[in-house]
Structure 1
Amino acid sequence: MPAELSPIEKAKFAAAKRASDMVESGMKVGLGTGSTAAWMVRCLGERVRREGLKIRGVPTSTRTAELAREVGIEVIALDEAGWLDLTIDGADEFDAELNLIKGGGGALLQEKIVATASDRMVVIADPAKEVAHLGAFPLPIEVIPFGWKTTRNLVEEMLEGMDVLGREVGLRMSGEAPYRTDEGNHILDLHLMRIGNPRQLALVLNQIPGVVENGLFIDICDTVVIGHGDGRVELRDVTEGTLEEGRVEFGESENLFRDV
């Protein structure tokens, strides 16, 4: 492993490597988006090359699709797959009940659709993503461009009645222009600091005209794999109430690091 790889990247790799071992030949797998999910896609690609693993992947963004094809994973659309055995994705935050904030990478809509079309969702993360209460990470919501300022005003008005500490709502930018999702929509980032009732907020947000989807993933994630910089991994299953601990050896996957 290159010496310049940070402890956080090592932790992301450890989680991704452990989760990739859950995938079996013949599976249809949802492939998440983001830096941790990219490690997972590379790990699966290595298994395809080394072991002849035969899977079909449903990516949650164009950049994940490009990476999957690059590492030799067969890519199919969700409509072709119909239903998935497993989705593996990262998260910006997760709490003790494995409720999540996702969408920092701008792919929350496809990520939520793919995750809910799966028998099981596994989240891969480093320890910094675990929080006592969701909300320190800005909550993304995807909105259609038409009338987005009106949508923002409605969101701000709604937040007055919610159990949150902050109410700042900002339009995500990409340079000088508004950020565009794969569907051509905008993203509003809600700086809430602390969300007292994530379930209620998720339901109310999606009732606002112009909101396509929000980045709160409630009762969707089944398992979280937490990686550490020294190779330790923790696997928590919320449905089984179990905790499994193990270790990933970095030296076994040096081909992966040559590509980074």
Structure 2
Amino acid sequence: MSRELSPTDTAKYAASRRAVGFVEDGMRVGLGTGSTAAFMVRCLGARVRDEGLKIRGVPTSSRTAALAREVGIEVVSLDDAGWLDLTIDGADEVDANLTLIKGGGGAHLQEKVVASASDHMIVITDAAKQVATLGAFPLPVEVLGFGLRSTQKLIAATLADMDVLGHEITLRMAGDAPYITDEGNHILDLHLQRIGDPAQLSGALNQIAGVVENGLFIDICDRVIIGHEDGRVITRDIKQGTLEEVRLTIPETGNLYNDVSD
């Protein structure tokens, strides 16, 4: 598999394979969205197929739901599941406190709802997503289509009082049309470059009328798994204060993951 996958994708695969090892029979599992999460869903599906693992998956987007069904995972709604044992998802950035920026795939609203309804959240990523300070990746903010321009002006005014470096706001597009989320909303991407106080910014954004949810995940993730292109996987548990490194053998043949994309 290492011959077919890029170094970055090999790292994502390694992190995903390590993460699904934390899933136990009978669990209710939140399934994230994005390229890294897609590796995870396929690895989890392999356990369902090969080991007879019985779980119920709650997807965070329509495309994750379709992939989960394709690989044999039973898909249920969050309301049907009631509460989740574990959510596994990727991240666009993660800092030392395991505060995240998510939403590059446009699903951070459902991702945050699902992760918040879980006993634990594991983030899987490659080493490039680890940052000292959040903000280089644009912060997604899901907003209503109604009053979009006024909401953008209110966000701009709010940013003037925040500890951020940049202030550019762009409407996310899908080709020539605005991107529409699974909930029928739009996304404004905030190009902040540096976020000095994520908690203050998150609270201020979510007080603005028209804002549905922002992509800052604070005090939600308790474990991060970092994959490397040589098969090394580092697991950091912030609650237990542990750091573990293992090396996985990456198969050389049978690439089942070459259709994965953001």
Give the TM-score category using the shorter length.
over 0.9
2:172–2:189 Cα contact (<8 Å) kept: yes
Give the fraction of aligned pairs with identical amino acids, expressed as a percent. Answer: 70
Tell me if 1:226 matches 2:226.
yes
Matched, 1:123 2:123: yes
Match of 2:208?
Answer: 208
Q: What residue is the counterpart of 1:76 in the other structure?
A: 76
Alpha carbons of structure 1 residues 259 and 185: separation in structure 2 relative to 1, 3 Å: closer
Residue 107 of structure 1 is matched in structure 2 by 107
Task: Determine if the alignment matches structure 1 residue 147 to structure 2 residue 147.
Answer: yes
Residue 2 of structure 1: how far off its partner (Å): 5.8
> Matches of 2:78 and 2:145 in 1, distance apart?
25
Per the alignment, do residues 253 and 16 of structure 1 end up closer, same or farther by CA in structure 2, a change over 3 Å counting?
farther
Secondary structure in 2 aligned to 1:21? helix
Letter in 1 for 2:174: S
CA deviations 1:24-79 (Å, max 9, x no partner) are 11000000000000000000000011000000000000000000000000000000
The CA distance in 1 between the partners of 2:115 and 2:65, in whole Å, is 16
Aligned length, in residue pairs? 260
**Other-structure match for 1:199:** 199
What secondary structure, in the 3-state scheme, does the structure 1 residue paired with 2:239 have? coil
Are positions 1:162 and 2:162 aligned together?
A: yes
- Whether the 8 Å CA contact 1:137–1:191 is kept in 2: the answer is yes
Query: 2:79 is matched by which residue type in structure 1?
Result: D
Q: CA deviation at 1:180?
A: 0.2
1:247 Cα shift?
A: 1.4
- Pair 1:65 & 2:65 matched: yes
Label 1:50 to 1:213 Cα distance change in 2 as closer, same or farther (>3 A): same
C-alpha distance 110-211 of structure 1, shift in aligned 2 (>3 A): same
For each residue in 1:64-107, what CA deviation from the matched residue of structure 2 results, as whole angstroms up to 9, or x when unmatched? 00000000000000000000000000000000000000000000
Unaligned runs of 5+ in 1: none
What is the DSSP-based 3-state SS (H/G/I as helix, E as strand, rest coil) of the residue aligned with 2:220?
Answer: coil
Contact in 1 for aligned 2:61/2:107 (Cα 8 Å): yes
User: Match for residue 55 of structure 1?
Assistant: 55
For residues 257 and 249 of structure 2, the distance between their equivalents in structure 1, rounded to whole angstroms, comes to: 13
TM-score between the two structures when normalised by the length of structure 1:
0.98
Q: CA deviation at 1:255?
A: 6.0
Contact 1:98/1:224, CA 8 A, preserved across alignment:
yes
CA distance in 1, matches of 2:256, 2:79: 31
Q: Does 1:85 align with 2:85?
A: yes
Q: Does the 8 Å contact 1:12/1:124 carry over to 2?
A: yes
Matches within 5 A, 1:33-52: 33-52=33-52
Shift, 1:256, TM fit: 3.0
Asked if the contact 2:2/2:10 (under 8 Å) is kept, the reply is no
Deviation for aligned residue 1:132 = 0.3
1:169-180 alignment runs, 5 A limit? 169-180=169-180
Runs of 4+ in structure 1 displaced over 2 angstroms?
A: 252-260
Distance in structure 1 (CA, Å) of the matches to 2:215 and 2:180: 16
- 1:162-195 Cα deviation digits (max 9, x unpaired): 0000000010000110000000000000000000
Alpha-carbon distance between aligned partners in 2 of 1:185 and 1:245, rounded to the nearest angstrom:
40
Displacement of 1:254 in angstroms is 3.6
Structure 2 Cα separation of the partners of residues 236 and 26 of structure 1: 25
User: What are the Cα deviations for residues 91-131 of structure 1, in whole angstroms up to 9, with x where unaligned?
Assistant: 00000000000000000000000000000000000000000
